[in-house]
A and B are shown apart, each in its own frame.
Chain A
Amino acid sequence: MMKQEVNRNTPSVQELIAEKKQKNNLSKMLEKIMPKVLLITAILSILTTLGILFTLLIETFTFFERVNMKEFLTSKSWYPFSEPGTFGIMPLVSGTLKVTIIAGIVAVPIGLASAIFLSEYASDRTRRIIKPILEVLAGIPTIVYGLFALTFITPLLRSIIPSLEMFNALSPGIVIGIMITPMIASLSEDAMSAVPRSMREGALAMGSTKFEVAIKVVLPAAVSGIVSSIVLALSRAIGETMIVAVAGGSTPNLSFNVTESIQTMTAYIVQVSQGDAGYGTTIYYSIYAVGFTLFLFTFLMNLLAQYISRRFREEY
């Protein structure tokens, strides 16, 4: 009786070996399969880029079968909803550029000044408090900024500039500027902090004031990082959607007037997506042509930013 019990509970050595072998086989399999599985996940990110390129290219191609490419690039009017519609991208591009330039005018000086303050003047403690708060500013959903532009900045501006329309380029431009300021401040601050301390101390020892050190030593040394942060931030501004869709209006026109209603490339895509433009219509394909133009703009700016930060980097 006793003996049987023992026999049942302890497997024979042979069984143990077989079991171990099985386990080993399994882990050997895992060892072989996992790198391949992981490689596939890594390739997914490339497939995403290819997917974006292909969908944009194919649908844009269909669009150009119906609309002359010359008209798209040179015509100065964008009236897709009239019969027959005209599709000239220039008014949309001008709307986008107006908003981006305003955003740049707001964000570049403020962002740079904050970066200089944080990296050159602020104590460690102040920096540790302020930087996360700026990051909160960067993490706020853009729809929140959209409502802020529409219900706060626009009325505020209208009390100063009475001729300002309800929807305009100025208000979303300023708010996008506010949105990208933390990005410029944070990335530029990183670039400035990377400048070695010895260079600052050398300049200070020669009798420079802190301001002179910041402008004449730190800024030139960090210029590649600063410029690339600005280019990246502006490319963000170009692709920004909800703020301009909410507060920018939907009147594409080619002008330099910032007080009137505009339409950006992104806002046009939103307008069409919300409407009932059926699948297969020219208007449906037009959002891909506009999206492709937008993609090209931001892609080139991102490449430029990478080029600047690599090409003009000062090595210490």
Chain B
Amino acid sequence: MKLINHSNVIKKMKPRLMKNVIMRGLFFSATLFGLVILGILFYRVLTQGIGYLDFQFLTSLPSRKPENAGVYTALIGTVWLMAVVAPVSLLIGVGTAIYLEEYASKNKFTNFIQINISNLAGVPSIVFGLLGLTLFVRAMSLGTSVLAAGLTMSLLVLPIIIVAAQEAIRSVPSELREASLGMGATKWQTIVRVVMPAAIPGILTGGILALSRAIGETAPLVVLGLPLFLAFLPRTVFDMFTVLPMQIYNWTGRPQEEFQSLAAAGIIVLLVLLILMNSIAVLIRNKFQKRY
């Protein structure tokens, strides 16, 4: 008895294979789409902004005349912002991760913290701006200072650091902990001298990624009321300041073509900064990957 109608199968096989090849092509071009867009984006920004990019652009104050304008105050402001965000968010984030991974028992409260962190990661950045405006700018009357913006940004990137640090701590093998405890070390000694050194590459990578999110973010700072235009540098964390994305946003909003080219030049500076930070993250990851 013939169970399979061979001629029928052969007849149907060809269109099925054709379909496979065509769809493969479609899927591939969809993947290429993202890469092409990235290429166009970089090309556009480069051709638009390269003309304004020189040493003078990096060292000049913002100006009404496009040919004299520069990003000096904004660039220094971004460095100030990083100086506040990095320690604050790392301390709180790593602390939370150590607590959740090493101390907390698996109960409802821990579960609630965990769910809360993943929800916090989904809150739009502009809402963090509203929180910062009420809490830091008004209630603590910090004004539009480096500290107010830094604390707001720290809260914004906190979930990223916590999740990265948790993963890093979790990937430290438990044999290391047990060996340390077996040698008579206390829990805190084990954490500081055994777990942390092993987890530090993962934590640093996550920290750098979080920091690069913080320096590229604009929306919460607009809500805080950071000036779009500033001709002096902050001296302490309580001083007014502005950052690169704000300066770029300011130029983007002007109707004249020259200012949009300036915005593109500012973007190049910002992207170079981000690429540098990300390469450091990749370097750290590659250097310390899989030692166990």
Contacts and interface: CB of A to CB of B under 8 A. Distances in A.
B137 to A, nearest CB: 10
B41 A148 contact: yes
B31 A113 contact: yes
A151 B48 CA distance: 10
A110 interface: yes
A305 B117 CA distance: 15
B116 interface: yes
Given A49-B120, A299-B123, A143 B95 contact: no
Contact of B113 (A46, A145, A146, A242): A46
Interface in B93-130: 95-96, 98-100, 103-104, 112-113, 115-120, 122-130
B127 A211 contact: no
A139 B252 contact: no
Contact of A45 (B23, B96, B260): B96
B239 to A, nearest CB: 20
A260 interface: no
Interface string A278-289: 010000000110
B245 interface: yes
B20 A210 contact: yes
A45 B127 contact: no
Interface in A283-316: 287-288, 291, 294-295, 298-299, 301-303, 306
A204 to B, nearest CB: 12
Interface in A124-171: 130, 133-134, 136-137, 139-148, 150-152
Nearest to B162: A45
B216 A42 contact: no
Nearest to A303: B119
A85 interface: no
B19 A44 contact: no
A42 B113 contact: yes
Interface string B2-35: 0000000000000011011001101110110111
B122 A137 contact: no
A118 interface: yes
A38 B133 CA distance: 27
B130 to A, nearest CB: 5
A138 B209 CA distance: 12
Contacts of A227: none
A38 to B, nearest CB: 4
Contacts, number: 244
A113 B27 contact: yes
A31 interface: yes
A29 B189 CA distance: 12
B122 A298 contact: yes
B264 A41 contact: no
A245 B248 CA distance: 13
A269 B34 contact: no
A263 B162 CA distance: 34
Given A144-B267, A147-B260, A242-B249, A133 B222 contact: no
Contacts of B119: 49, 299, 302-303
Top 10 A-B pairs, shortest CB-CB distance: A239-B124, A141-B216, A41-B95, A113-B30, A117-B27, A38-B99, A241-B219, A302-B122, A209-B20, A55-B134
30 contacts: A31-B186, A31-B188, A35-B99, A39-B103, A40-B95, A42-B96, A42-B113, A49-B120, A52-B131, A55-B130, A55-B134, A114-B31, A133-B38, A142-B219, A143-B249, A144-B216, A144-B267, A144-B271, A147-B252, A185-B34, A239-B123, A239-B124, A239-B127, A240-B124, A245-B222, A269-B126, A270-B219, A291-B130, A302-B122, A306-B118
